[in-house]
Amino acid sequence: MWGIFNNSKCLNCLFGIPEINYIHTGNGTITSYNTSGYQNNMNVRFDASSSNIINNGFESGNLTGWTTSTPLNFVVINTDKYDGNYCVQISNKSASWIALTSNKIPVPIEKKKLVLSAFFKGIANKKMDFLVRFWSWSGVEITPNLDVGISATPKWTLGQVTGNIPTGTAYITVVLSLQPTVAGYINVDEVYMGLY
């Protein structure tokens, strides 16, 4: 169901989960929430019932639709999930960032903006990046990327990012990336990408 969210009750309040705590590390627009529980900086069409991302809720019970070079760092679990039967648990004990990348999402030429959202929880202050990469028809990456960092909380939290789609973009990929060498994990569920 499409809905317009502009200074209306925030999605995380509707779902009964705490306010979002963000760290902005890139060129995206953070959806922020004020102390009254109303959201700011967002006037987008958001499809809460479907996603352009294959296996966005990890309901296949595996990583179908996602790719990674470090599969042992990404485990689909059936406990401590936000919705449905599964979520992905991301942990990193290596000396470098690790990444889980979505399928290629086609971008119709008339689409100019995007919204990326996901539910997440984990060890407090564990850092994760939402990264959106833009690609031309010839497979050349268009920069800059949309890169926004978040800090985990011990309760399920809805994180959302909005941004512009660069001219010439044919498709996009979503990357979930986790910082190196910090003990702990982040669980991620219901990853949605809306184009408008």
Contacts of residue 174, Cβ cutoff 8 Å, sequence gap at least 6:
53, 101, 102, 105, 116, 130, 131, 132, 191, 193
Q: What percent of the chain has pLDDT over 70?
A: 72
Is the pLDDT at 166 greater than 80? The verdict is: yes
Greater pLDDT, 160 or 12: 160
What is the tens place of the pLDDT at every residue in 47-68?
Answer: 434 468 999 999 999 999 999 9
111-142 per-residue burial string, b: 16 or more CB within 10 A, e: under 16: eeebbbbbbbbbeeebbbbbbbbbbeeeeeeb
Measured distance CA(122)–CA(88) in Å, rounded = 11
Please compute the mean of the pLDDT values over residues 99-122 and round it to a whole number: 92
Measured distance CA(187)–CA(126) in Å, rounded = 11
- Provide the residue ranges of all domains of the chain, joining segments of one domain with +: 2-195
Is the pLDDT at 91 greater than 80? The verdict is: yes
Is the pLDDT at 19 greater than 50? The verdict is: no
Is the pLDDT at 113 greater than 60? The verdict is: yes
- Classify domain 2-195 at the CATH superfamily level: Galactose-binding domain-like (2.60.120.260)
pLDDT band at residue 12 under the 50/70/90 scheme: very low
What is the tens place of the pLDDT at every residue in 73-89?
Answer: 899 999 999 999 999 99
Greater pLDDT, 8 or 139: 139
Greater pLDDT, 100 or 153: 100
